[in-house]
Chains A and B, each alone.
Chain A
Amino acid sequence: MKATRLSPRPDTARRATRREKLVEAALLAVACSSILSLALIAAFIFKEGLPFMIGYGPGKFLFSSEWRPKAGLYGIFPMIVSSLLATFGALGLGAPLGIASAVFLTEFAPSAVMKVVKPAIELLAGIPSVVFGFIGVMIVAPFVRATAGGPGLSLLSAAFILGIMILPTVTSISVDALNAVPQSYREGALALGATRWQATRMVVLKAARSGLVAAVILGMGRAIGETMAVIMVAGNAVKLPSSPLDSVRTLTANIALEMGFAVGDHRKALFATGVVLFAVIMALNGAAMTAIRRKGRRG
């Protein structure tokens, strides 16, 4: 039943409704155009790469280890493995550090610290990947070579640099997710006698879960799509890694290294690599989503 409203006059109400409909239509148009542009990119990649992959033989493309464009051989198995390993390595470093920092900043640190540190970490997001790459080449790789052996330009160095690179993404979004948890949740837990850590662990983290997962997913996306820094630090050898100290080539590095010069079939093969990348990302994201949904719905 219509409660006592501060009712506008009838013609204002009509105008308001018309404006509402206009706004809704405009927003629909906006949403459609963004989704269209995203779809355009996807279509572009698939149009250039999928026919080639089917013609060449998806099994051969995905599972053979010979990448010799001059001889017409296009096998990307080592690169799929390297991309996955580098991304998980990066997540292994960046996700815990990022979420832990976010938890510390929102739950335990004085707000003055947060006001300084959050923008500081976001600053990392603006540093170009090439700078990270250079630091990798000049400091991380020699360090790895000196302490652990191998050429230094390796999977380990790449995973390390990537981990640092995804820190801002994971931390910022986690901080926002944690801040969004209502204060009443924390107060309720404390009133029941929990310590702050218990309140955080048992209540806040669970409540912020979907935001934290978003943080990790976006971080994962960033890691797997990173090109420049990886090219400079990973060594780019076309072989299956037998240890983290081996030089590896990721899917993105393969595309970027050769796209500038590739023509004909070679270029189509690189787009097919892009298709595979897309599929890998879809698989990773899909797995992450099922994981959330299984753990329970958002409260």
Chain B
Amino acid sequence: MSAPRGVAARGAAARVATAGRARARGQARAQAIAVGILGAATAAAIAALAFIVFFVLSRGLPSVTLEFLFSKPRGMGRSGGILPAIVGTFVLPALAIAIALPLGAGTAIYLTEYTREGRLTRAIRFGSDCLAGIPSIIFGLFGYIFFVTTLGLGWSLLSGALTLAIMILPTIIRTTEEAIRSVPRSWREVSLSLGATRWETIVKVVLPNALPGIVTGVMLGLGRSIGETAAVIFTAGSSLRMPQSIMDSTRTMAVHFYILAREGISAEKAYGTAAVLVISVLAVNAVTYWLMNRFIKRRAR
């Protein structure tokens, strides 16, 4: 190689390298900007959450005493506590999930594993997505007419749970479906080729790996049930008594807050109720995640 060509070649190489570095710098800057914006969005979302929680807790915690938590309301809720509502708030959504999870997960499993993707499955998914947007008051009225009156269950936790279960069914079906589909097909094929049956594959391979997604659906459904008012009032009623069985009527904390605040009875008690509610939801979420993580860790062994 003669000297001038070598110099030219080195110059060209240097120019390419500089251009490459400039492009890399440009891309690095683009990434920095993108990450910055994404981070800001996340911060904004978290700020909104933090503000709401702070607002509720700062106004409500002063009212939350042991008496508030463990005694029954007196004087229309102006004094006393909210124990029946606390019980109702735990029992009602739990019952609703107990009904909706098997139904929803079973439906999702059937639709994804046992049928082929076609017009029928698409129609079903479409129908259930649409139902997710129907306002809760319509579910409440349906529940009142069907469960409370026609089936004669009366205003009861059972009527409320059945109604709530139908309300959260679409969410559970959709999220379970997405979770199951995200498990790679190859994993199923490996399992089947090792001699497992379809059901065994689902139970031992697909479901455990779809668990985080399913839990998301449960969390969202649970959250919606706990915060629901219209559907609950029409079906589980709004009695202030302590429920003795699932055929009894009771309030949830959300309903209690709604009635207290709406009728302007007692702002302090209303916020106290909201504070307990927010803390309960946090606790339920935390426990569920802890359980799920333990389950995953144990399987990973």
Contact = CB atoms under 8 A, between A and B. Distances in A.
Contacts of B138: 41, 45, 255, 271, 274
Contacts of B1: none
B191 interface: no
B92 interface: no
Interface in A77-128: 96-98, 100-101, 103-105, 108-109, 117, 119-128
A57 interface: no
B166 A134 contact: no
A172 B220 contact: yes
Contact of A130 (B104, B145, B257): B257
Contact of B175 (A31, A173, A226): A173
A24 interface: yes
Contact of B219 (A125, A131, A182): A125
Of B102, B175, B286, most buried by chain A (CB within 10 Å of CB) is B175
Contacts of B128: 35, 38
Contacts of A190: none
A197 B35 contact: yes
Interface residues on A, range: 35 or more
B110 A30 contact: yes
Interface stretch (B52-60, B76-84, B241-249): B52-60
A156 interface: no
B197 to A, nearest CB: 5
B152 interface: no
A224 B53 CA distance: 24
Contacts, number: 281
Contacts of B254: 128, 130
A134 B55 CA distance: 11
Contacts of B257: 128, 130-131
Contact of A104 (B38, B114, B170, B282): B38
Contact of B129 (A119, A122, A217, A274): A217
B45 A101 contact: yes
B156 interface: no
A129 B229 contact: yes
B188 to A, nearest CB: 15
A214 interface: yes
A100 to B, nearest CB: 4
B127 interface: yes
A93 to B, nearest CB: 10
B281 A126 contact: yes
B135 A227 contact: yes
A216 to B, nearest CB: 11
Interface string B208-220: 0000110010011
Interface string B142-166: 1001100000000000000000001
Q: Interface majority SS on B: helix, strand, loop or mixed?
A: helix
B46 A121 contact: yes
B240 interface: no
A132 interface: yes
A281 B226 CA distance: 24
A214 B174 contact: yes
A62 interface: no
Given A100-B37, A100-B42, A41 B134 contact: yes
B34 interface: yes
B148 to A, nearest CB: 14
A28 interface: yes
Given A176-B179, A285-B126, A125 B220 contact: yes
Contacts of A148: none
Interface in A43-87: 44-45
Interface in B167-199: 169-171, 173-175, 178-179, 182, 184, 193-195, 197-199
Contacts of A274: 134-135, 138
Interface string A176-212: 1101101000000000000111100100000000110
Given A101-B42, A127-B227, A131-B257, A119 B285 contact: yes
Nearest to A6: B195
A171 B45 contact: yes
B131 A126 contact: no
A126 B137 contact: no
Contact of B114 (A27, A121, A139): A27
Given A34-B103, A167-B45, 16 more contacts: A34-B173, A35-B127, A42-B127, A98-B45, A117-B46, A123-B282, A128-B254, A128-B257, A128-B274, A131-B278, A195-B28, A197-B27, A211-B182, A221-B170, A226-B135, A289-B126
29 contacts: A3-B193, A8-B195, A19-B199, A27-B110, A30-B106, A34-B173, A35-B127, A38-B166, A41-B139, A42-B131, A45-B138, A97-B44, A117-B46, A125-B223, A125-B224, A128-B254, A131-B257, A131-B274, A135-B52, A176-B182, A176-B213, A180-B213, A218-B171, A221-B133, A225-B134, A277-B135, A278-B134, A282-B130, A285-B126
Shortest 10 CB-CB distances between A and B: which pairs?
A126-B281, A125-B223, A30-B106, A180-B182, A128-B227, A100-B41, A221-B133, A197-B31, A104-B38, A126-B223
Interface of B: 27-28, 30-31, 34-35, 37-39, 41-42, 44-46, 48-49, 52-53, 55-56, 102-104, 106-107, 109-111, 114, 122, 124, 126-139, 141-142, 145-146, 166, 169-171, 173-175, 178-179, 182, 184, 193-195, 197-199, 212-213, 216, 219-220, 222-224, 226-230, 254, 257-258, 261-262, 274, 277-278, 281-282, 284-286, 289
